[in-house]
Amino acid sequence: MILTSIELFLDTTTASQNVYENVCATLTQHMQRINPGVEFELLSHYRMQGTIAELTGIYSMMHDMCLNTCIAYMGPFSDFASCPKCKEPQYKITPPGRERQPQCQFHTIPLGPQLQALWRSPETAKKMRHRSQETKRILEELERDGNRIKEWEDIYHGTAYLDAVCAGNIKHDNMVLLMSINGAQLYQSKQSDCWIYIWVILDLALDVRYKKGHVFPGGLYSWPQQTETS
């Protein structure tokens, strides 16, 4: 039932968890009526998340952070018990014997496995060659037309990009990414509740670059604590 669960999970990625669970329940009841003696049980939404992560190697990593988003408790701040800037403690006050609970955490979704997935099929690997092919064409055009570009269509035509290519800082087999970050309002009656950042793959052509399937989530963290002003 794993394959059926995966197909159903992918078909309902734009819907809520309840939609997936309800469809699973309806399909299970239907199959049991048709074949009463045959066991039919689809994976729960929670188990599907773990299965997809295991199959793709893409996990969400969670780390503690300052309540006011000053620092993350990792790297040079791994052993800190409070924020060196705002002095907020890392953990909530809990009764003796209870497990400590961090005041705030953030999620990071590693980019490497997501990029590697783009090269696993001939179709997507071919799409990932768009930037290098277009860059070659643009450089040939510049050389032929006296360093003049007839039409500016993409970031590939920009001076900053072309200078980096000519200097050898960006090579034909590199991948070029754009990071975009913004606040997100999760509830209608509240201000932005969190920050989300995404990765845009600039190696892809414009007609597919900004499609949902090719825009990768990078991470999210809570909005800084709001302070009242008089």
Tell me the pLDDT tens digit for each residue of 31-75.
Answer: 888 888 777 888 888 888 888 777 777 778 899 999 888 999 999
Residue 164 predicted with pLDDT over 50: yes
Distances (CA, A) of 109 to 74, 139, 148, 186, 219: 16, 35, 41, 20, 6
Whether 118 has a pLDDT exceeding 80, the answer reads: yes
Give the residue with greater pLDDT, 72 vs 152.
72
User: Which has more pLDDT, 4 or 184?
Assistant: 4
pLDDT of residue 166: 93
pLDDT grade for 228, boundaries at 50, 70 and 90: very low
The residues near 63 (Cβ < 8 Å, ≥ 6 apart) are 72, 73, 74, 105, 106, 108
Q: What is the pLDDT of residue 227?
A: 42
For 218, the 3-state DSSP assignment is strand
Cβ pair 176, 182 in contact under 8 A? no
User: Under a CB-based contact definition with an 8 Å cutoff, are residues 90 and 103 in contact?
Assistant: yes
**In angstroms, what CA-CA distances link 8 with 34, 36, 53, 208?**
20, 22, 16, 24
Total-model pTM: 0.71
Which residue did the predictor score with more confidence, 133 or 59?
A: 133
Residue 139 has pLDDT above 90, yes or no: yes
pLDDT of residue 9: 85
Please answer whether residues 86 and 70 qualify as being in contact, where contact means their C-beta atoms are separated by less than 8 angstroms. Answer: yes
Q: What local confidence, expressed as pLDDT, does residue 230 receive?
A: 32
pLDDT for residue 133 is more than 50 = yes
Q: 217 has which bridge partners? A: 198
91-100, 131-140, 168-177, range with the lowest pLDDT: 91-100
Look at residue 223 in the predicted model and tell me its pLDDT.
59
* C-beta atoms surrounding 176 within 10 Å: 18
pLDDT attached to residue 192: 58
Mean pLDDT of the chain: 86
Quickly state the pLDDT bin for 190 (edges 50, 70, 90). low
